[in-house]
Chain A
Amino acid sequence: MAMSGVMRPGFVQLRVLDLDEAIAHYEGRMGLELVSREADDRAYLRAYDEFDRHSIILRKADSPGMDVMGFKVATDADLANFEARLRNKGVTVTEIPAGEQPGMGRRVRFETATAHSFDLYSECALSDNGPMTDNPDIWRHEPKGMRIVRFDHCLVYGGDIDGTAEIFTECLDFKISEQAVDPENGMKIAIFLTCSNKAHDVALVRFEEDGKFHHASFYLESWADVGHAADLIARHDVSLDIGPTRHGITRGQTIYFFDPSGNRNEVFSGGYTYFPDSPLRQWTADQAGKAIFYYEKELNDRFMGVVT
């Protein structure tokens, strides 16, 4: 797939109840690099194989959840084009000036039908510690903690997921790779959207409340690394949600856990390769257990209903 327009999820900003505890988790347990901690009570982190300055922002707040998820677009012309398309569709758009996050160019923020905020941007400073480019070794320093390769995607919950998906597909050229529907009324229960070769870059699940955050996900190199993450979770009493297991949807090999403020994290490996001519994969609600947990074939109230 020619990668143009929206290239990938670039960052997520999460709210945390205690910044020191959050850093101890994301840096100490998960193994992300702490890039900087700023005077406005935000901390910036990145994974070892990411070129850009940061991909995870933790902001101290009195309730957890997701402030905003950012997508990086290929060029400034793309940014202007997407902004025009969003405004044309009547989507609420605001401009975030360059430098609001250190190293970031201007961002175009839009609000979705499910009351989530997403940013588009085309410029981000490179990390001083990024992957090597000249006769490159596989990594500059050996990966720590869960050996996270990169930030990968988010899953968010809200009411009108069709409306949110429509913004992504019509204004930003995302494709729906996979979905789950209620066969009785055709209502979509879950929508998986991709802007790339990945099975999903952002996912939406229907829920009674808008603006909710289900998880931020990080990519690992292998199933063995998912097992290593499980060992770390057990050894250090990280709050486990479920796994290791596999999803039917996207086929990811996965484990879920919670950060010290209750935000859900996923680390996963695998997942199929998506191409723009891939037919839509679809699940029906009666097979939801297998769709979500391919091995257990049984839904779990905590996984389905616990959000921040």
Chain B
Amino acid sequence: MQDADYQIEIEGEDGGSFTCAGDDRALLAMEQQGQHLIPVGCRRGGCGICKVQVLSGEYETLVMSRAQVSEEEEAKGFALACRLEPRSDLKLNVVNQIWIERRKEQLAKRQLGG
């Protein structure tokens, strides 16, 4: 089942969804699908910008910066989306929502030729 495509759903009114194979990392799958639902930083588990809380579903994580996700947070389902591999469909809450809003404003400005 490693290569099954799972559905990754982002909670909230600005939410949306994308698909991710079981051997892929959620953030990278989202970027490949041209979506801007989770902010993208270093993509390598260091900066913490893509932090999410997994609300439901099974997953595994690769090594993440302890400065960004403490053991207690990890136990509560917090993870960095760039280090998150789904093992089922997932529902996620985006921690740094402000980055998404700023990104949308910038894209809208560019489309208007601003």
Q: Which residues of A contact B (CB under 8 A)?
A: 17-18, 62-65, 239, 241, 258-264, 298, 301-302, 305-308
- A64-B68 Cα distance, complex, nearest whole Å: 10
- A70-B47 Cα distance, complex, nearest whole Å: 23
- Which residue of the partner chain A has the closest CB to B46? A262
Say yes or no: B43 contacts A239, CB within 8 Å: yes
CB < 8 Å A-B pair total: 63
Would you mind naming 8 contact pairs between A and B with Cβ atoms under 8 Å apart? A17-B46, A18-B63, A260-B44, A262-B43, A262-B44, A262-B46, A301-B99, A301-B103
Which residues of the other chain, A, contact B79 by a CB distance below 8 angstroms?
none
Say yes or no: B63 contacts A308, CB within 8 Å: no
Say yes or no: B46 contacts A263, CB within 8 Å: yes
Say yes or no: B102 contacts A262, CB within 8 Å: no
Would you call B45 an interface residue if the criterion is a C-beta within 8 Å of the partner chain's C-beta atoms?
yes
**Do most interface residues of chain B lie in helix, strand or loop, or is the interface mixed?**
loop
Q: A63-B65, A261-B45, A264-B42 are in contact. List 5 more A-B contacts (CB 8 A).
A: A239-B43, A258-B43, A262-B65, A302-B40, A306-B41
Say yes or no: A261 contacts B46, CB within 8 Å: yes
Say yes or no: B99 contacts A64, CB within 8 Å: no
| Other-chain contact of A308, B40, B42, B103 (Cβ < 8 Å) | B42
With contact pairs A17-B63, A306-B42 given, residues A63 and B68 touching in the complex (Cβ less than 8 Å): yes
Would you call B112 an interface residue if the criterion is a C-beta within 8 Å of the partner chain's C-beta atoms?
no
| Other-chain contact of B41, A65, A259, A302 (Cβ < 8 Å) | A302
Say yes or no: A62 contacts B44, CB within 8 Å: no
Would you call B66 an interface residue if the criterion is a C-beta within 8 Å of the partner chain's C-beta atoms?
yes
Q: How far is the CB of A51 from chain B (nearest CB, A)?
A: 31
- Which residue of the partner chain B has the closest CB to A261? B46
Which residues of the other chain, A, contact B66 by a CB distance below 8 angstroms?
62-63
Q: How far is the CB of A300 from chain B (nearest CB, A)?
A: 9
**Residues of B in contact with A, size category:** 20 to 34
- Which residue of the partner chain A has the closest CB to B98? A301
**Do most interface residues of chain A lie in helix, strand or loop, or is the interface mixed?**
loop
As a 0/1 sequence over residues 36 to 75 of chain B, the CB contacts with chain A under 8 angstroms (1 = contact) are: 0001111111110100000000000001111110000000
| Other-chain contact of A258, B44, B64, B68 (Cβ < 8 Å) | B44
Which residues of the other chain, B, contact A64 by a CB distance below 8 angstroms?
46, 65
Which residues of the other chain, A, contact B67 by a CB distance below 8 angstroms?
62-63, 65, 308
- A260-B82 Cα distance, complex, nearest whole Å: 11
- A64-B64 Cα distance, complex, nearest whole Å: 9
Q: How far is the CB of A307 from chain B (nearest CB, A)?
A: 7
Say yes or no: A306 contacts B44, CB within 8 Å: no
Say yes or no: A258 contacts B46, CB within 8 Å: yes
Say yes or no: B99 contacts A239, CB within 8 Å: no
With contact pairs A63-B65, A306-B49, A308-B65 given, residues A262 and B42 touching in the complex (Cβ less than 8 Å): yes
Which residues of the other chain, B, contact A305 by a CB distance below 8 angstroms?
49, 99
Which residues of the other chain, B, contact A308 by a CB distance below 8 angstroms?
42, 46-47, 65, 67
- A306-B67 Cα distance, complex, nearest whole Å: 14
- A239-B44 Cα distance, complex, nearest whole Å: 8
Which residues of the other chain, B, contact A301 by a CB distance below 8 angstroms?
39, 99, 102-103, 106
- Which residue of the partner chain B has the closest CB to A300? B106
Closest 10 CB pairs of A and B: A262-B46, A262-B42, A63-B67, A62-B66, A306-B41, A64-B46, A258-B42, A262-B44, A239-B43, A63-B65
Say yes or no: B63 contacts A262, CB within 8 Å: no
Q: How far is the CB of B70 from chain A (nearest CB, A)?
A: 10
Pick from A17, A62, A65, A307 the residue with the most CB of B within 10 Å: A17
Which residues of the other chain, B, contact A62 by a CB distance below 8 angstroms?
65-67
Which residues of the other chain, B, contact A65 by a CB distance below 8 angstroms?
67
- A268-B14 Cα distance, complex, nearest whole Å: 38
Q: How far is the CB of A71 from chain B (nearest CB, A)?
A: 25
- A239-B40 Cα distance, complex, nearest whole Å: 11
- A302-B50 Cα distance, complex, nearest whole Å: 11
- A307-B42 Cα distance, complex, nearest whole Å: 8
- Which residue of the partner chain A has the closest CB to B69? A63
